[in-house]
């Protein structure tokens, strides 16, 4: 059952390109002559981050538990779910990588696990957050910079996914990039925009996926922002929040923050994240 299994965590801070990465993978592995439906991705996702599924199978109401108590349950829950998995599984998460009080990773440990981590200039992330959550720019900057910040009423104690993101942008990125429990490959959102074929190919090679260059080129073409924007105009997108003030696939550009953030707002982000921004080529 586990011989050809591989679990790939698709991790990122919110609004950094995680959905785009999932669409690239879905169009690579499952598209035929047409792009995949953005509202019905065929990408197999083990339900290891589904709170509702865990509650049903364990008969535990996790809404009654504190976060650290839920974190104690998650490694064993992940093992149980992965025991049922064969082939490739791709799990989206915005959670930070952390250990629970038993010193176990909340994601569990499994020799088949790998991670793709998508990072984006935090100044552009702040702008995207404000549109996604329908909040002010100052609130978006605060959320990005402060550990344990809450952006608004959408962030509740009980949600269906284990995606709490109780850390700032630097803490989130370092938690994934500096952990040693599983191999991790870094993708910069800006590189996916500028050189999509070569950047995506590097991620595919990291996962040892056997695909043709033609399939990669088609996946990139099918996942182009104009294609995604057209689908959203035609059918809507279920991941867009009701409070959002813009389409989910809004712009797909790098550096747009410079015409939106004030000098003081941009400075607050740089002051909070300067070392990692410099390390990742954003300064």
Per-residue pLDDT reduced to its tens digit, 225-261: 888 888 888 888 777 767 776 667 777 778 989 989 9
Distances (CA, A) of 53 to 2, 138, 255, 264: 22, 36, 39, 44
Among 164, 158, 153, smallest CA distance to 51 is for 158
Q: Are 9 and 107 in contact (CB under 8 A)?
A: yes
What is the spatial distance between Cα 93 and Cα 12, in angstroms, rounded to a whole number?
A: 7
What mean pLDDT is reported for the chain?
87
Q: 263-279 and 169-177 are packed helices; what angle lies between their axes, rounded to 10 degrees?
A: 10
Long-range contacts of 278-283 (CB under 8 A, 24+ apart): 280/119, 280/173, 280/188, 281/188, 282/121, 282/122, 282/123
What pTM did the predictor assign? 0.90
For domain 6-121+159-239, the CATH class is alpha beta
- Average pLDDT for 154-163: 59
- Please give the pLDDT value at position 254: 85
H/E stretch holding 253: none
| Residue 151 reports pLDDT greater than 80 | no
The pLDDT, as a whole number, for residue 2 is: 41
CB contact burial 75-102 (16+ within 10 A = b; e otherwise): bebbeebbeebeebbbbbbbbbbeebee
Q: Kindly tell me if the per-residue pLDDT of 158 is higher than 90.
A: no
Of 78, 109, 104, nearest to 91 (Cα)?
78
Query: How many CB atoms are closer than 10 A to CB 33?
Result: 6
Task: Give the Cβ contact number of residue 226 at 10 Å.
Answer: 9
pLDDT tens for 51-72 read 888 888 888 888 888 888 989 9
Q: Give the whole-angstrom CA distance, residue 240 versus residue 247.
A: 7
């Amino acid at each position: 059952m586990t011989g050809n299994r591989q679990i790939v965590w698709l991790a990122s801070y919110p609004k950094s390109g995680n959905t785009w990465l999932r669409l690239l993978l879905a169009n690579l592995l499952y598209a035929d002559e047409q792009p995949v439906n953005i509202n019905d991705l065929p990408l197999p996702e083990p339900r290891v981050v589904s709170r509702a599924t865990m509650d049903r199978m364990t008969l535990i109401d996790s809404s009654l538990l504190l976060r650290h108590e839920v974190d104690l349950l998650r490694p064993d829950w992940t093992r149980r779910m992965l025991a049922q998995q064969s082939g490739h599984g791709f799990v989206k998460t915005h959670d930070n990588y952390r250990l629970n009080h038993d010193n176990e990773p909340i994601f569990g440990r499994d020799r088949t696990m790998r991670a793709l981590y998508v990072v984006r200039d935090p100044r552009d992330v702040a702008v995207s957050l404000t549109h996604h959550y329908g909040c002010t720019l100052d609130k978006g900057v605060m959320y990005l910079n402060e550990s344990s910040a809450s952006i608004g009423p959408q962030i509740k104690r009980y949600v269906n996914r284990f995606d709490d993101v109780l850390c700032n942008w630097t803490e989130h990125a370092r938690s994934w990039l500096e952990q040693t429990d599983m191999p991790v490959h870094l993708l910069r959102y800006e590189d996916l925009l500028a050189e999509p074929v070569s950047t995506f190919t590097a991620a595919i090679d990291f996962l040892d996926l056997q695909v043709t260059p033609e399939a990669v080129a088609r996946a990139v073409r099918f996942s182009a922002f104009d294609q995604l924007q057209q689908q959203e105009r035609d059918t809507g997108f279920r991941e867009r929040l009701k409070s959002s003030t813009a389409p989910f696939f809004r712009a797909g550009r790098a550096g747009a923050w410079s015409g939106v953030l004030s000098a003081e707002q941009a400075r607050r982000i740089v002051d909070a994240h300067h070392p990692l921004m410099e390390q990742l080529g954003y300064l």
